[in-house]
Structure 1
Amino acid sequence: MSLKSTLTIVSLLIAITSFAQSGDKLIRVTGTVTDPESNQPISAKVFYEKLPYYDDMGVANTDPGNGVYELNMIENQKYIISVKADGYKPISQEIEILDKGLGLIEKNFKMEPDAMHEKITLDNLIFARGKAIITEESHEELDEFAKWLEQRPNAVVQLEGHTDFQGNADANMKLSEDRVEAVKEYLVGKGIKKSRIKTKAFGGTQPLTRERTPEARTKNRRVEVRIIQQ
């Protein structure tokens, strides 16, 4: 065993012994960090600092697959928990670690997009069924959005295409990609510079609802506008 490994083990044993002697009890604090609209997991950092002297602190990363984080904090102590993620407003909350006999506290967070990442849904954007052809009923809303961009020459947006989750995943992804590109082409045709319009396709990976009614499927098929610069 290397000297470095030996010293690490010794340090760990000292820390465990010190903790045992102090009589403090650790409580597991866990939960999820998600987007409030899509309920999708967010890759975030969750920090904790013990009050009032900040003499116990740490950080955990959420699991990018499910948004779950896990921390261990001392029972009957107060902490500040802060959550930070790119594109979202930071969260800071005080929490008191009170065990209810489970040895576990669940604390979930929903992060609001920051001012530069807010989303607009084009509610009246309609495509031909299963195609990327924009119907005439959609022109009025797109023309209004083009005017909105003209009035904000520094604005940069990202068009995000979504389909319903049912059906072939690859076909859904391709359809959502074609549709946002069709919207981009329409706006460029109205005089908006290409460099101001980014696109991203999600297919059926971020449905607003898992219901299988016609109304639910219509709700899932959408194009959202994320404002990334104003």
Structure 2
Amino acid sequence: MIKYIRKAVVSISCFLCFMLVLPAGVCGQSRPMSTSTSDVASLEGNVVDADTRQPIPGATILARTESGKVSGEQTVPADGAFHFTLDPKQTYVLVTKASGYQPAEERLAFTSSYTNRLYGKLIRLKRTDTPTPATQPATSRQENAPRPTPPAQTAGAATATNTATVATRPTPPPPLVAKTGETTQLRAIQFVQSKPDLLPEAQPALEQLLAFMQNNPTVEIELSGHTDNQGNFDKNMALSKERVDVVKKFLVKNGIKARRISTKGYGPTRPIASNNSEETRRLNRRVEMTVLKQ
């Protein structure tokens, strides 16, 4: 009898060991699959004259991936507006053309794969240097001179269009200007609270910084991240570095060489205001750019 009892105990022990090493899926429990929160994003903007900032109706704009796949092509209407639905994980090349203007190509990358909208994008085309035919100047003067006149003919429509444009496509920030050794606060580059994820509202300021780097191809900069003193010190130090690394990644993704950008995270160690109230702590949460070399 004792012999049979021992055999039963051994059998039960082996069965329990077998159950313990079974994969979770065999027992009917599977780990949830993570999915992207955003598969598509919209790109909205206007094609305008680089000098007059007036819309260029009839301009064509094409969006293609870096591999050459065309994701969309449009001919812009009278207000110069365009709208594309794109994959935020891809980097694109925007090719814009218009009669009488130099064609333009521009690389575009979304701030992250979670961005679902980029608006207020301005594509500025420069007129060609080729002289216009003898019959054209009179027409050009007529087009330039009556600019105050069209509002009298279609005042209601023009006012409505302009109002809508201001409401949905805010004026981009002015060009960034900085000298060697000068530190500039980039306050408009904002992040999700306690995370290194950029807010969609940061896009115009990022493009402003990108334009500065493109227009000054020899400039080298340092991006420094700063936080307030709330929370864990070490986490704040790490967070401030992660945030400026995200900004650098955006610039590099849009064609700026990585060697031109260094990043440092100072956490709460360099406050510019008191940390005693939320109003002043907000001033300490910032990204700064210092020009190291022109």
- Scaled by the length of structure 2, the TM-score of the pair is 0.39
Q: Give the structure with the higher percent strand.
A: 1
Between structure 1 and structure 2, the one with the greater Rg is 2
If asked which structure has higher relative contact order (CA below 8 Å, sep 6+), I would say 1
